[in-house]
Structure 1
Amino acid sequence: MTQTLKYGFIGCGMMGQEHLRNLALIKGSEVVAIVEPDAEMRAKAQALVPDVTFEPNIDTLLARTDLDALIITTPNYQHAEQMVAIFEKTKLPVLVEKPICTRFEDVAKLRELEARHPAPIWVAMEYRYMPPIAALREQVGSGVLGNVKMLAIREHRFPFLEKVGDWNRFNRNSGGTLVEKCCHFFDLMRLVLNEQPIRVYASGGVDVNHLDERYNGETPDILDNAYVIVDFASGKRAMLD
C-alpha cells in the first residue's frame, strides 16, 4: 500500500501552482492545506486542488497535526520570517523556494535554527537536475572533459515576470537579480567545479528593462545586466554573463 504524504503550502502564486501541478503527478501526494492572502491566487490553486483547505494564516497552518511536509512559495522577502516560525513551531521537513533569505543579517539565525531542526530543509535548486546539466556534471566529475579550470555560464532571457503586488520589481523584496535569478548559476558553479568560492567580483546595471514602469511613484531598481567572476581556492574561475 502506498503511504499518503500530506503537504501544507505557504503561498500559491505562480511558483506555488507549479509545485501543485508537480505533486499531482506523484502517487501518494496530497495537498491538504494552503495559506494564500490573494483571492485570485486562491481561486487558481483551488482549481488545481478542489478539496484543499485554505488556512487564514501561517499560525493556523502550523498548528495542524495532519501535515507531513511544508512547501514555501511566497515572495522572497517573506521566506526568512516564515522559516523561523516553522523552526520554532514544528519538526516538519520543508521545501523552500530560493532564496531562503534576502538579508545578510538573517543568515546566522537561520543557520543556527536549521542545525537544530530534526527534519530536512531543502532550498529549491531544480537546475541541478535538468538532464543536460546532470550530464555535464557527470562528465566533469568522471574526467571525460579533462581537468576543468574555467567555467562560463550565459543567461539571456526575457524580463522579470509579473507577480502579485509587483513585489519582484524591487531589490528590497527580491534580494536583487543576482540573488533572485542567478543563484541557480552560482549553485551550479560550485557543483560543477566541486569547490567553494573565495572571492567574487561583479558589475551590473539597470539599462533597459522596467524603466518605464512606476509603482507608487517608484521606478524598479532590479538589474537587467551583469558580469560576475567567481574565484575558487584552487585557482579555478567561473564567469556569469
Structure 2
Amino acid sequence: MRIIVVGLGLRAVSVLERLQAHMDEAEVVAYVDPKPHQIERLKNHEAIKPYDTLEEMLAGEKADLLFVSSPNHMHLEHIRLGLEAGIRMFAEKPVVISMEETMELAELLSKHGADQVLIGLVLRYAQHARDLRAAQAAGQIGDVVSIEANEHIAPYHGAFFMRDWRRYSKYSGGFMLEKCCHDLDIYNMVTGSRPTRVASFGGRKSFVPSNAPAKDADTQVYHVKESIWEAAEDPFLSDGDIVDHQTAILEYESGATMAFHTNINVPDEHRRFCVIGTKGMAEGDFVRGYLKVTDAHTRGTLVDEDYTKSIDRPGAHYGADDMMCQDLCAYLRGEMDSLPVSVVDALEAGVAALALDQARTTGQVVDLTSYWEKFDSFDLRGTAATTKKMESIQ
C-alpha cells in the first residue's frame, strides 16, 4: 500500500501513524508540503520523497492512495486532480468550504464515482456512535423526535483556532464547518435525514481585546496547541473572522428537530447529546465518556456505558482515530464491504454547517429544499460503495 500525501501537517501524521500501526504494508512514499510537521513520527521517514506540486507527485509516483490533508480551501482542486488521475483518496474533513464547491465536487463525483474518496469524519467511528446506532437498530429509541446537543471546547483549543489559519473563513470555511461538521454528521445519521430548514445566532465575545489577560499573566494555556501555517501570536488580538460561540436550530427531513450550541471558551469541556425518541431517550457525552439509554414507558435503564473504563486506545477523538484507521485498513484490504461514513455524508454535513452560517450572517431562516433537489440530481448515493452500514463495524 503505497501512500502519497498532500498537506503533511500534524493531523495527517497522526492519522498515518495509526494507519501504519494497523497496516504493516502501508508505506508513505512521497509528500507535497513546503513545511512538513513531525514527519519523523512516520516509518522510514528519511526515505519519503518531497515534491513541489501535487501534479508532479501524481506523475512521478505509482501509488495506491492519495491522502488529502491540505488546508480546507485547497481540497477541491487536490481532489479534482486525484479523481482525474484515477487514484483512490482519503480526504480529511471538511471536504470543501462553500455551497458552490459542494455542487462542483458533487458533479465530479458523479462522473468519477463517489467511492473514489474516503473521508475522515472520525466521530462516526467512536464507540459512543456505534452503541448509539445499535440502540436505534434495537428499537430502544423509536422514531427520533428531538435532539439537544453541543460541542464545547476548552480555552487552550479555542485559542488555537484564533491563532491558526483556521481563523480565516476563506481558508477554513468557518468555525461551524471546520469543527462541528463531525457533530452535524452524527445527527444526520441519528435522524436518518438531512436538515431542511435552519436558523442560527452567534458571534465573538470571548476572544476579543477587552478580555486579554494582563501583561504579567501566565498565558501558556493559550499556546498549548502549536500553529504552523499563517500563525498569529495573540488569540485575543487575532485578525480572524470566525465566531467563538454559536447557537443553532435545525429541522430535518424526518420531522425531527435539534438545538445545537458550540462555544470555544468552556473551562470544563464536554460534547453532549440527548436524543429523545418515541420509545426512549439516549444521552451521552463524547468527552466525559458515557452513554445511557432510558425506556420511555418504564423509565428503566436499557444501556449504561462508561467508556472511561472500557476504551483504552491510542490516538485522539476518544479512541475513534485508532478505530477509524483499523476499519480503513480492513476496508482497503477488502475485508470490509463498507465504511460507516461516506464522502456524500460529509458533503451533506458540510451543507448543514454552511447553511447555519448563512442563517447567522443574514438573520434569516435558510430553507435547503431546492438545494437538496439539485444535489440529489447527481445520484451520488447510487455511485458510492461506501454506505451507512453501521452493522458492519459493531
TM-score over 0.5 for the alignment? Answer: yes
TM-score normalised by length of structure 2: 0.55
Cα offsets for 1:2-43 (capped at 9, x unmatched): xxx11111111111111221122122211111111115x2xx
Aligned residue for 1:135? 131
Deviations 1:83-116 (A, max 9, x none): 122222x111111111111122222221111112
Q: How many aligned positions are there?
A: 231
Establish whether residue 230 from structure 1 lines up as the match of residue 226 from structure 2.
Answer: no
Match of 2:239 among 219, 224, 235: 219
Q: Please, what is the CA RMSD of the aligned residues?
A: 2.2
The equivalent residue for 2:19 is 23
Alignment of 1:7-86 (within 5 A): 7-27=3-23, 28-38=25-35, 41=37, 44-49=38-43, 50=45, 51-86=47-82
AA aligned opposite 1:99: P
Q: What letter corresponds to residue 229 of structure 1 in structure 2?
A: I
Q: What CA distance in whole angstroms lies between the structure 1 residues aligned with 2:260 and 2:197?
A: 14
Deviation at 1:210, TM superposition (A): 6.0
| TM-fit CA distance, 1:47 | 4.3
SS state of the match for residue 149, structure 1?
Answer: strand
1:108 paired with 2:103, answer yes
Decide whether aligned partners of structure 1 residues 63 and 162 sit closer, same or farther in structure 2, where only a CA change above 3 A counts. Answer: farther
- SS class of match (2:185): helix
Q: Sort the Cα spacing of 1:75 and 1:240 in 2 relative to 1 into closer, same or farther, 3 A.
A: same
Identity, in percent, stands at 27
Query: How far does the alpha carbon of each residue in 1:155-208 deviate from its partner, in whole angstroms, 9 at most, with x for none?
Result: 110234648x93111111111111000111110111011112211111111111
Indicate the residue corresponding to 1:94 in structure 2: 89
Cα distance change of structure 1 residues 17 and 160 upon mapping to structure 2, 3 Å threshold: farther
| Post-superposition CA distance 1:95-152 (Å, at most 9, x none) | 1111111122222221111112255212211100100111011112321123321112
Q: Please tell me whether Structure 1 or Structure 2 has the larger radius of gyration of its CA atoms.
A: 2
Q: Distance in 2 between matches of 1:93 and 1:66?
A: 12
Give 3-state SS (helix, strand or coil) of 1:181's partner.
helix
After superposition, the Cα gap between the structure-2 partners of 1:11 and 1:136, relative to the gap in structure 1 and judged at 3 Å, is same
Work out whether residues 69 and 93 of structure 1, in 8 Å CA contact, stay in contact via their aligned partners in 2: yes
2:13–2:41 Cα contact (<8 Å) kept: no
Task: Work out whether residues 23 and 30 of structure 1, in 8 Å CA contact, stay in contact via their aligned partners in 2.
Answer: no
What SS does the corresponding residue of 2:164 show, helix, strand or coil?
A: helix
Q: Secondary structure at the match of 2:250?
A: strand
Distance 2:92 2:50 in 1: 20
Q: 1:194–1:225: structure 2 CA closer, same or farther, 3 Å change rule?
A: same
Q: Does 1:192 align with 2:190?
A: yes
Letter in 1 for 2:111: R
Q: Which residue of 2 aligns with 1:169?
A: 167
The SS at the match of 1:182 is helix
Letter in 2 for 1:186: L
Unaligned runs of 5+ in 2: 213-232, 262-394
- Return 5+ residue gaps in structure 1 as ranges: none
Q: Which moved more, 1:168-177 or 1:112-121?
A: 112-121
**Structure 2 CA distance for aligned equivalents of residues 34 and 58 of structure 1:** 8
Asked if the contact 1:198–1:231 (Cα under 8 Å) also holds between the matched residues in 2, the reply is yes
Greater RCO structure (CA 8 Å; 6+ sep): 2
